[in-house]
Chains A and B, each alone.
Chain A
Amino acid sequence: MADFLQTLMTALAIGSLYALIALGYTMVYGVLKFINFAHSDIVVLGAWLSYSFAIRALPLVGLDAHNPATPPPIWMTAGIFVAVLLLCSLAGFLIERLAYRPLRRAPRLNVLITAIGVSLLLQNVGQLDFVFGASPQKMPALLPNWELPIQFGQGESIRYVVLPLIDCIIFAVSGLLMLALELLIFRTKFGTALRAVSFNTDFAALMGIPVDRAISLTFMLGSALAGAAGFLYVLKFPSMNQPAHSVWVLLGLKAFVAAVVGGIGNIRGAVLGGFIIAFVEQFGAYYISSNYRDVYVFSLLILILLIKPTGLLGSPVREKV
């Protein structure tokens, strides 16, 4: 029971990270119908920006940059978070404007290849010495490492489930962001415009919706969420790999799998998919074998695609001649 709860809590925290990243994939797919392979690099950008800001900001309040004795004041952590969000959405805007917009009418395969090119470019520019460097780093702790032990059983069979503060924060922050996105998409005029563009770009343009601006905003929103995921990810896993490391690519891929499992193009599906993928991965790793955790994820993907090709919440696409 205690093991189950512990795994459940890890799965919830990781699931919300997957969901945050998956939202970006699914929103871009919704409006432009292509897999934005460069999305995982925005997560990396968010993670490394958090690190760069943290080691420069910590000395300002008299703390050691790499190994602070106490966590910095909460306004500083929040400030870093907001700065990362803004810079990541700027990066998303620039990528769309420079690389994808000229290809608006090109075959989708070309856009896909361009996305791969952008991804390679970002990874390797990030590895340059004057950017982030090509060696792993350790993220300084920005939050107190409080842990809440919950007691189970009596006497001999006493067990503890540890509930770390960081997991709660990940869950709460991503929950808030998802709620905000949900309200934005389904309750505002801008969200209606976005859904119209996603439904049919040409007709949306005829209805007077500025399609290019809507697409830019989609990219900015998705990238901001990815940046947030990067920030939260390095708070939970402080040992960071270099920007072109395959761990990051795999993180992005799993989030992408989450988007597909939930039904790509569907906002709620991405959140659902993120949690499903995290559950399958964490419980599979704990109860079967942790060596095959990627296999569970990709097998689930293939299984879902074969049973319901449009994903769990995706609507079937009718083909017309």
Chain B
Amino acid sequence: MSASDVLIEPTSHGVNILKSAAPILVGIALAVGIQFLLPSTVGPYYSRLVIDAGIAMILAVSLNIVNGMTGQFSIGHAGFMTIGAYTAGSITFYSSLLIWGTAAKHGSFLGSGEWMFVIACLCGGITASIAGFVVGLPSLRLRGDYLAIVTLGFGEILRVLLQQTGKVVDNAEIVRNAPLTTFATVPVGGAIGFDGIPKYTTLFWVYAFLAITVIFAYRLKRSSFGRAMLSVREDEIAAQAMGINTSRQKLLAFITAAFFAGVGGGLLAHESGVIISPKDAGFQRSFDYVIMTVLGGRGSITGVMLAAILLSGLPEVLRDFERYRIIIYAALLIFMMLSRPQGLFGIHEIWDFFPRSWKTLPWKKSPREEAQ
């Protein structure tokens, strides 16, 4: 039996669907496990850190689609996140006021309030992806640094515009009776931020969305779309010569990345203890995610996830040295760039570093052994 025969196994259609759905099912099962086991074992403080790390991973993995896989340097990712956050936040806040008369959390785990929250997050993602399309358009004309500057300008413009929005209307009666013109001021809190969004974000939802994001990114990377994106990163002119529509790939990368950033923003807006504010759209926050993708390695999904965990955990480890925290953080960053410029994993995934014997399950023979 030759190696190629092993790969083509006759399977029925149903088994194929089951096989492709398996990672998502595993991811959601893990999310349920985290939701019910983690808070009781590590307590609320560390649970919050785990939520933060999960949201950071969603944002870093999505940014990696643009920066790492397609090689377009975007430093406006926090802008997309903020658009998603404000959209999702205003949907849950004002719908809660209209439906239940109060903006407090409604319903228990997987109750009606939580489903509204999920739909709001998805709406946030869609709004953000529309913004991604608009911001991606200049990428057809601009390259490298210039594109970076445009994305930076986008984030800053968004920050200033959000600062000029109106006050939050937190009275159900006023919201019900107000004419539509009241909403022309976009009542999302102005410079002080959008306070009062119901706090729906739980470990389960963060890790369920993270599972979807990671599986999507991984499958994208292995698909023909993903390979086209990688080729745009490696050499745009060569990719064009091979018949790849580079404009379309770049736009697609921006749209998908912005979608997941918007969903991540929705999760962030509903996290307890977080008040989403215009400052989040600025470039300083975008830099955090750029640094994660660079430290993780260009296009390496697992590397970026590891970097996101490390960087969102590092400030907590250094909490006792409050004053020196960012100094150490910055020094580490410079040291990392000087000593390992390709990032933690380079272009590889974490399993590329495992010993060969781990990669085949013990009860399965490797293709090479079968061939012998």
Contacts and interface: CB of A to CB of B under 8 A. Distances in A.
A128 B160 contact: no
A276 interface: no
A128 B334 contact: no
Contacts of B161: 292, 295
Given A120-B329, A124-B327, A295 B337 contact: no
Contacts of B237: 319, 321
Contact of B327 (A121, A291, A321): A121
A113 B330 contact: no
Contacts of A319: 237
B294 A109 contact: yes
Interface string B335-363: 00110010000000000000000000000
Contacts, number: 112
Given A128-B323, A295-B160, A113 B333 contact: yes
Interface stretch (A204-212, A223-231, A297-305): A297-305
Interface stretch (A73-81, A99-107, A172-180): A99-107
Nearest to B332: A117
A110 B294 contact: yes
By CB atoms of chain A within 10 A, which of B152, B290, B333, B334 has the most? B334
Contacts of A253: 152, 156, 283
B282 A125 contact: no
Nearest to A35: B145
A108 interface: yes
Interface residues of B, number: 41
Interface stretch (B47-55, B124-132, B136-144): B136-144
B157 A110 contact: no
Contact of A102 (B145, B153, B338): B338
B141 A306 contact: yes
B146 interface: yes
A306 B156 contact: no
A113 B329 CA distance: 13
Contact of A298 (B153, B284, B329): B153
Given A116-B333, A294-B156, A309-B141, A110 B149 contact: no
B73 interface: yes
Interface in A111-127: 112-114, 116-118, 120-121, 123-125, 127
B138 A114 contact: no
Contact of B337 (A34, A35, A117, A301): A117
Nearest to B279: A246
Contacts of B290: 113, 116
Contacts of B160: 291-292, 294-295
A114 B337 contact: yes
A209 B364 CA distance: 63
Contact of B326 (A108, A109, A124, A249): A124
Interface in A286-321: 291-292, 294-295, 298-299, 301-302, 305-306, 309, 319, 321
Q: How large is the interface on A (under 10, 10 to 19, 20 to 34, 35 or more residues)?
A: 35 or more
By CB atoms of chain B within 10 A, which of A106, A128, A291, A298 has the most? A298
Contact of A116 (B141, B153, B287): B287
Contacts of B283: 253
A82 to B, nearest CB: 30
A305 B142 contact: yes
Contacts of B294: 109-110, 113
Contacts of B330: 117-118, 120-121, 124
A35 B149 CA distance: 10
Contacts of A246: 279, 282, 284
A124 B153 CA distance: 24
B175 interface: no
Nearest to A106: B341
Given A106-B341, A118-B334, A121-B334, A306 B138 contact: yes
A117 B333 contact: yes
A116 B148 CA distance: 14
A306 B159 CA distance: 21
Contact of B149 (A107, A128, A260, A294): A260
B95 interface: no
B331 interface: yes
Contacts of A301: 149-150, 153
A292 B163 CA distance: 9
B337 A113 contact: yes
Interface of A: 33-35, 99, 102-103, 106-110, 112-114, 116-118, 120-121, 123-125, 127-128, 246, 249, 253, 256-257, 260, 264, 291-292, 294-295, 298-299, 301-302, 305-306, 309, 319, 321
Interface of B: 73, 138, 141-142, 144-146, 148-150, 152-154, 156-157, 159-161, 163-164, 237-238, 279, 282-284, 287, 290-291, 294, 323, 326-327, 329-331, 333-334, 337-338, 341
24 contacts: A35-B148, A35-B149, A103-B341, A106-B337, A110-B294, A113-B294, A114-B334, A116-B333, A128-B327, A253-B152, A253-B156, A260-B149, A292-B160, A298-B157, A299-B153, A301-B149, A302-B138, A302-B150, A302-B154, A305-B138, A305-B146, A309-B141, A309-B142, A309-B146
Given A114-B338, A260-B149, A306-B138, 15 more contacts: A34-B145, A99-B338, A109-B73, A110-B341, A112-B148, A116-B290, A121-B334, A124-B326, A128-B323, A294-B160, A298-B156, A298-B157, A301-B149, A309-B142, A309-B146
